[in-house]
Amino acid sequence: MDNNTIFIKSVIAHTIILHASMNPNVSPLTTLLHRLETCQNMYILSCISDTEAYVLSAILEREIVTRYICECGYKYVIGNSGHALTEQRCPGCKVRMLGGTMFVLHAGNKKLDENPLRSLVTNDISGYIGETPNQDIGYCVRSMPPTSFRILHLFVHILIGASSPSTIATNFLQKNNQVATNTEHYCLEHIQNDWNILKQILNCSDENLALTLHSILANMTQNPPPSSNLNTPDQREEWETQFTRNYVSDQIKSIIETTTNFRTRLNTASTTVQGNTTNVIESEINQTLTTFDISQLPRLWRKIGVSTFESFRAYYNGNLAQYKEQFPVLAVYFKHEESLRYVKHLWDIVKFVQLVSARLSYRLNREKILALTFREYFLSEKNEEALMTAYKDFEKAWNSVIDNVDRYECHEIVIKPKMHFDQKLTLALIEPKDEGVYLCAILEYLIFIQNKFLEEIMTITPGTCRSLGFLEDSDSFTETEGPPQYYIQSLTLKQLRKDNLISYQWEDDCDRILQFSERNLGVGRGQDIIYDLQKIEQELARYLIYEKVHIEKLENSKLFMELFSYHMELFQSSMKIIEDIRNLIPQEPISAEKASAIVGIPTNSFNLTPGQMDSAIDNPSDILSALEILLCFVKRSPGSGGEFSIKGYVSQWASLSKISENAKFNSLLTEDLKLKHLIGLYELIEEQMANITVKNVSEKYKAPITNDLVDSLNKVIDWTIPPSQQELLPAKAFALALKRFMYRFLQGETMNENELLELYVCNESLYFWPSSVSQELIDKLFPGEIMVSHTYNVYEFITNQIENLIRRQHQQQLQ
C-alpha cells in the first residue's frame, strides 16, 4: 500500500468515525451516513443543481445555443444561429432524425427556445445527480470556492460510499440519472479525483493535505455543523456557505501554518495520553542545551520554500473570496491560465498561411493543389530556407494545438490530423470545408481564447483596478466626459502585429515575477511564502493585456482570414470584386480597336459565330491568373487613380514581381492600358477563357429546359444581329451574362442548383451584363422561372439560335 492510499484511507476513516459517533440529526452529513434512504428528496450538498445547466454551461462559455427536443424526449442543441444545417440519427429513439438541412427542421423535432441562449437559469433538482469526475481545478458549484467545494464533495462521497455496495446506495445515486453503475467504484473515483485536485489547488503533499483535512474534521468535532433537512435550494446554499466560513476559509489561508499547528496539537495530545515517559532521549539531549541553543540553533537549519507557479496559485486560492475582489485581473488570469498558453502558436500559423496564400492564390487551379503535399510543394520551391523555417514553426504550432480543437461551427471534429511533410497542402489553405475545416477551427479556437480573456478583463469596473490604469489612457481616442473607460483596439489578423497577440508561457517569461515575495520566517521555518499580489498583478497585466487587441472577423465574412482563391475561382471568394474596384477607380471600356489587337478578333464581330470568335491568345489561363492577382491587389491598394498605367502600377510593387515575369501578361501591358481599363481587360480575357471552360460545368447545372421556358425566352430576347429592338434583351448580351455567371460561379459544385437564376444574373452589383443594357430592362424582362440548374442549357439554346441566325445572314449575303 503506497503513502497516497494510506493518507486517503486515514481521512476516510476519520470522516466515517466522526459522523458515526454523532446523532443522525446533527447535520446533513451525519444523515447521509446513518439514513441515506431518507435523503432521496433532499438537496444534496456539493451536488450539481441541474443536469441540463451542468451540461450546457461549458458550451455557453464558448457560444450561444438553441435547444431542441425530439418527439421521444431526447434534448439537443444547435450552436450559433440555431438553424438546422446538419442532421443525425437520434441517440434516444434511434429512429427519428435530429436537426435538418437548408434551415428546415425534420418532422418530430421541436424548437424550445425562441432566441438563442446566452445563459441558462438553473432549475434546482432534489436528490443526487450523478456526474463524471471533473478535473478542472477551477470547477465548483453555486457560491462555494473551488477548495471548499472539493473538500465538501470529498466528505459527501466518503459518507455515501460507506453505504456501498448496497441497494440503498444504488437507488440514491441513480435517482436522477444512471451515471453511477458500480457505486463503490463511483465514490472512490470521485474521492481520488477530489484529492488530486486539492493537492494542485493547495500545492501540497499527500501528507499535508491529509493533515489539513484532519484539522478540518477536528474542528467539526469541537464545533459540529448546524442541523438542517435541506428541503430547499436556499437551505443547501446557506449550509454550504457556513461550511466554507466556519471550517475551510481559515484552514487554507496557509497550509504550512495549518499543518504545523495540527502537528503541534497531535504532539500535545500524544504527550497527554502517553505521559512524559516518551521521547526520553530527546528530553535528555535538551537538558544539555542552553536556552539560547534551544531557541536559535533550529533557525540555522531550515527548509526554504521554493517560489513556483503552483505555490503562487495556492497562496491566491488560500484567501480566494478577498483576493478575487482585490485583484480582479488575477481572477481572470487564473481562470484562463491553462488555455492562454496556446495563443502563442497563433502567430506562427497565421504567418505561414499568409506566406503560402501569397505565393499560390490564383496561380494554381483546385485540381492541382488538391494533389500537392507539403513535400512536393517545397521541392517545387527548391526548399527555400525562409519557407522551410516558416513551415517548421507552423508544424510545431499545429501539432501543439490540434488535439484541443473539438468542433468548428456546428460540426464535431473527430479526426485530428497531425502535421508532417506528407500531409496535403490544402491543410494550410483557408476554406471552411473539407480539409480546410481544420485550419479554420484552429484559428477560431486560438482567437476565441484571446478574445474571451480580453472581454472578461473589460468587464472589470474601470477605476477599481490599479493594474489596468494603462487601459484608461485615452490619448489616442476621442476625449469624453464622465467616468473612466477601458480602451482595447479591435483589429483583423491582417492588420495586427506580433506584439498584439498574447504570447504567454510561464517558464522563462513569467516566473521572474515571483521575486515579489518573501518567506514567513515565523511559521513553518521558511516554507510559507507570502506573495505581493499587487505587484504581481501589475506585471501580469502589462505582459498579457498591454497593446493586445480584440481580433475581429473580416468584414461581411464568417472567417478571420481571407478565403484562399484557386485559379478560375476568383468570384467565389470575392463575389463583388468588380464593384469594389469600380468604386475605387472609375472604369472605362477598352476601345474596339485595342480589344481587337489584344485578342486577335476583327473589330466588327457581330457577324461571327461563337466558334469563329475564339481568341488568338494561346492559353489565356496564364494571363487570367495574373489579372486575378492584380485585381485583388488593386482592391487593397488602388494606387494613384485611373490614369496611372497598369504597367507602371505593377512595376512599383515588389509583391507583383511574380506576375511581371509572365511574358504573355507583359505583352498586353502597353502604355495605353491604364488602371481605368483594368476591368475591361479582365472581362476581355475572361471571355476567351470562358469560351473554353463553360462546357465543362457540372451536370447539375445542365437541367433540360421546357417548351414553356423556350417560349418565355423568345418573348424577351431580341434575336436581330446587330440588335435593333431596344425594348428587348439583346441575344448576345444575354448569352454573355450567362457565360460570365457560369465561369465565375459554376466552375465547382458549391452553388445551389435549386435557386432562382435571377437572384444572381439580375444583381446589378455583380456586373454580368454589358453596360449598354439597362438594369431596368433586365429586371423587367428576365424570366423568373429560370433556375440555376437550367443555366447551361439556356446558354446553349441562345448560342445555337445566334449561330443559326448568323449562318442565314451569311447565306443571304452569298445569294
CA dihedral in degrees (591, 597, 598, 599; nearest 10)?
A: 110
569 vs 564, which has greater pLDDT?
Answer: 564
CA–CA dist 670, 590 (Å, integer):
13
In terms of Cα–Cα distance, which of 83, 90, 81, 79 is closest to 56? 79
More confident call, 202 vs 473: 202
Q: 348 and 401 in contact (C-beta within 8 Å)?
A: no
* 434 in the same domain as 399: yes
User: Which ranges constitute the DSSP H helices of 361-426?
Assistant: 366-370, 374-380, 385-401
Range among 155-159, 277-281, 742-746 rated most confident? 155-159
| Alpha carbon separation from 538 to 55, 320, 495 (Å, rounded) | 36, 18, 28
Asked if residue 417 has pLDDT above 90, the reply is: yes
Q: Are residues 215 and 106 in the same domain?
A: no
Q: What is the rounded average pLDDT of the residues 275-293?
A: 61
Give residue for cell 525562409: 386
Residue at 611 is within a domain? yes
Q: How far is CA 811 from CA 607, 759, 814, in A?
A: 12, 39, 5
Q: For 586-605, write each residue's pLDDT tens digit.
A: 999 988 888 888 877 655 55
Mean pLDDT of 534-553: 94
Please classify residue 726 by burial: count the beta carbons closer than 10 Å to its beta carbon, then call 0-12 exposed, 13-18 middle and 19+ buried.
exposed
Residues 582 and 640 grouped into a single domain: yes
- What single DSSP character describes residue 764? G
pLDDT per position as a tens digit, 496-517: 999 999 999 888 777 788 888 8
In this structure, what DSSP letter does residue 247 have?
A: I
Region for 639 from its dihedrals, namely left if φ exceeds 0, alpha if ψ lies in -120 to 50, beta otherwise? left
* Phi/psi of residue 373, nearest 5 degrees: -105, 170
pLDDT of residue 364: 84
Please give the tally of structural domains in the chain: 5
- pLDDT per position as a tens digit, 801-811: 999 988 888 88
Name residue 306's amino acid: V
Domain boundary among 423, 452, 481: 452
Task: Give the pLDDT confidence score for residue 303 in this predicted structure.
Answer: 67
Residue 446 has pLDDT above 80, yes or no: yes
Q: Between the CA of residue 656 and those of 369, 532, 572, what are the distances in Å?
A: 21, 55, 22
What are the distances in angstroms from CA 754 to CA 105, 333, 638, 708? 18, 50, 37, 18
540, part of any domain? no
C-alpha cell at 596: 481587337
Give how far Cα 210 sits from Cα of 207, 264, 547, 736, 814, Å.
5, 15, 45, 82, 109
Percent of the chain, pLDDT > 70?
Answer: 89
Q: CA-to-CA distance for 308 and 95, rounded, in angstroms? A: 55
Cβ neighbours for 203, distance < 8 A, ≥ 6 positions apart: 255, 308, 310, 311, 313, 314
For cell 437548408, name the residue.
Answer: 102
Checking if the pLDDT of 663 tops 50, the result is yes
Distance CA 213, CA 218 (A): 8
**Position 111 pLDDT exceeds 90:** no
Q: Give the pLDDT confidence score for residue 213 in this predicted structure.
A: 96
User: On the CB side of 761, how many CA atoms lie within 13 Å of its CA?
Assistant: 33
> Worst-scoring range by mean pLDDT, 239-243, 447-451, 589-593, 615-619?
615-619
**Maximum CA extent, the chain:** 141
Amino acid 343 reads V
Average pLDDT over residues 399-405: 96
Average pLDDT, integer, range 707-715: 94
CA-based nearest residue to 546, from 475, 470, 486? 470
Residue 334 identity: F
d(C-alpha 447, C-alpha 451), whole Å: 6
> What is the pLDDT confidence band of residue 325, given thresholds at 50, 70 and 90?
very high
Same domain, 715 and 766: yes
Within this chain, do residues 96 and 233 fall inside the same structural domain, yes or no? no
Phi, psi at 42, each rounded to 5°:
-85, 165
Q: What stretch of H or E contains 95?
A: none
Confidence of residue 448 (pLDDT cuts 50, 70, 90): very high
**Residue 680 and residue 707 in one domain:** no
Same-domain pairing of 369 and 390: yes
CA distances from 204 to 158, 359, 442 (A): 21, 54, 36
Q: Is residue 118 assigned to a domain?
A: no
Measured distance between the N- and C-terminal CA atoms of the chain, rounded to whole angstroms: 112
Q: How many CB atoms lie within 10 A of CB 637?
A: 13
- Of the CA atoms within 13 Å of residue 808, those in its CB half-sphere come to 9
pLDDT confidence of residue 299: 57
Q: What proportions of the chain, in percent to the nearest 5, are helix, strand and coil?
A: 55, 5, 40
Q: Are residues 579 and 615 in the same domain?
A: yes
| Predicted local distance difference test score (pLDDT) of residue 173 | 93
Q: Are 703 and 790 in contact (CB under 8 A)?
A: yes
The answer to whether the beta carbons of residues 456 and 333 sit under 8 Å apart is no
At which of 253, 282, 317 does a domain end?
A: 253
Is residue 189 located within the same domain as residue 233? yes
The owner of cell 467565389 is 572
Domain interval for residue 681: 570-695
In a domain, 269, yes or no: no
C-beta separation of 144 from 152 below 8 A: yes
Average confidence (pLDDT) over 1-16: 91
**In terms of domains, do 654 and 716 share one?**
no
> What are the start-end ranges of the H helices in 661-815?
663-668, 678-693, 707-716, 731-745, 758-761, 775-781, 791-814
Average pLDDT, the chain: 86
Asked if pLDDT for residue 606 goes beyond 50, the answer is no
The Cα–Cα gap between 330 and 361 comes to 44
Specify the 3-state DSSP secondary structure of 149: helix
At residue 477, does pLDDT exceed 50? no
Peptide bond into 224 cis (omega under 30): no
For the stretch 783-796, pLDDT in tens is 999 999 999 999 99
Q: Is residue 668 part of a domain?
A: yes
Q: What pLDDT shows up at residue 601?
A: 65
In a domain, 275, yes or no: no
pLDDT at 797: 96
The pLDDT of residue 294 is 60
pTM of structure: 0.76
Same domain, 34 and 181: yes
Distance CA 244, CA 141 (A): 13
Nearest in space to 495 (alpha carbons), one of 560, 427, 429: 560
Tell me, yes or no, whether 541 lies in a domain: no
Contact (Cβ atoms closer than 8 angstroms) between residue 84 and residue 67 = no
Domain-ending residue, one of 421, 452, 483: 452
H helices of 70-205, where? 146-161, 167-173, 183-202
Residue among 512, 532, 529, 533 nearest 305 (CA): 529
Which residues are paired to 529 by β-bridges? 519
DSSP per-residue string spanning 494-536: TT--GGGS----IIIIIGGGGGSEEE-TTSGGGT-EEE-HHHH
Yes or no: say if 203 and 310 are a contact pair by the CB < 8 Å rule: yes
C-alpha cell at 372: 500537392
Q: What per-residue confidence (pLDDT) applies to 500?
A: 96
Please confirm whether the linkage preceding 165 is cis (ω < 30° from 0).
yes
- As a whole number, mean pLDDT of residues 552-565 equals 89
- Copy the grid coordinates of residue 497: 502585429
Tell how many helices (H) and how many strands (E) occur in the chain.
34, 14
Cα Rg of the chain (Å, integer): 37
- Are 772 and 800 in a shared domain? yes
Tell me if 182 is assigned to some domain. Answer: yes
Cell triple for 217: 474534521
What residues form DSSP beta bridges with 137? Answer: none
